[in-house]
């Protein structure tokens, strides 16, 4: 009986050694992958630092002034007026926010225009009969909006500036 028990223990120890070796090998592979990823991250950070330095050199005001003077005849650049700047709230709505026109209403107005043409009335009077959507207007700067909300003068847009 001792021999059978010894053989079972030897089998269990061999299986445990194989499992331990497999786990150790997988851990070493994961460690190599971590080191590779850390090297890639360091390379990316170094590239970002290099690009930031290059941007700082490219956007120096004295360099840009020299370029403007050199190419002024071709580009004809003018300074931006302060009245040309707007807040994001003042921009027109996005295409995704534009209300979808009612297809049946468009067909009815086209049919009305065709009937008006047949009866001899003007197309403008037929078009006036169709409902029109109100054109959205930009929100006023500061003060109270049409919904009674008080706005401040500060911009609400966050820039992606580099620290």
Q: According to the model, what pLDDT value does residue 163 have?
A: 45
**Residue 13 included in any domain:** yes
Domain-embedded: residue 29? yes
Is 138 within 8 Å of 92 (Cβ atoms)? yes
Tally of domains in the chain:
1
Establish if 93 belongs to a structural domain.
Answer: no
**Residue 74 within any structural domain of the chain:** no
Coil, strand or helix: which one is 143? strand
pLDDT by residue, tens only, the chain of 163 residues = 679 999 999 999 999 999 999 999 999 999 999 999 999 999 999 999 999 999 999 999 999 999 988 998 898 888 888 777 777 777 777 777 777 777 666 566 666 665 655 555 444 444 454 455 566 665 555 555 555 554 444 444 455 545 4
Would you say residue 31 lies in a domain?
A: yes
In a domain, 9, yes or no: yes
For the chain, counts of helices (H) and of strands (E): 5, 2
What is the pLDDT at residue 102? 73
Domain that holds residue 9: 1-59
Q: Is residue 10 part of a domain?
A: yes
Q: 87 φ, ψ to 5°?
A: -85, 160
């Amino acid at each position: 009986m001792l021999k059978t028990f010894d053989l079972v223990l030897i089998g269990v120890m061999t299986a445990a050694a194989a499992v331990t070796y497999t786990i150790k090998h997988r851990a070493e592979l994961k460690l190599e992958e971590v080191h590779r990823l850390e090297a890639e991250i360091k390379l990316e950070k170094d590239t970002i630092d290099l690009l930031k330095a290059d941007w700082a050199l490219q956007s120096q005001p004295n360099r840009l002034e020299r370029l403007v003077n050199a190419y002024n005849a071709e580009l004809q650049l003018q300074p931006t007026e302060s009245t040309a700047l707007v807040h994001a709230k003042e921009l027109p709505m996005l295409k995704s926010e534009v209300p979808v026109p009612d297809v049946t209403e468009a067909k009815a107005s086209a049919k009305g225009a065709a009937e008006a043409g047949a009866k001899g009335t003007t197309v403008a009077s037929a078009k006036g009969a169709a409902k029109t959507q109100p054109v959205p207007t930009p929100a006023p700067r500061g003060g109270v909006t049409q919904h009674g909300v008080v706005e401040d003068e500060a911009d609400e847009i966050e820039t992606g500036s580099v620290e």
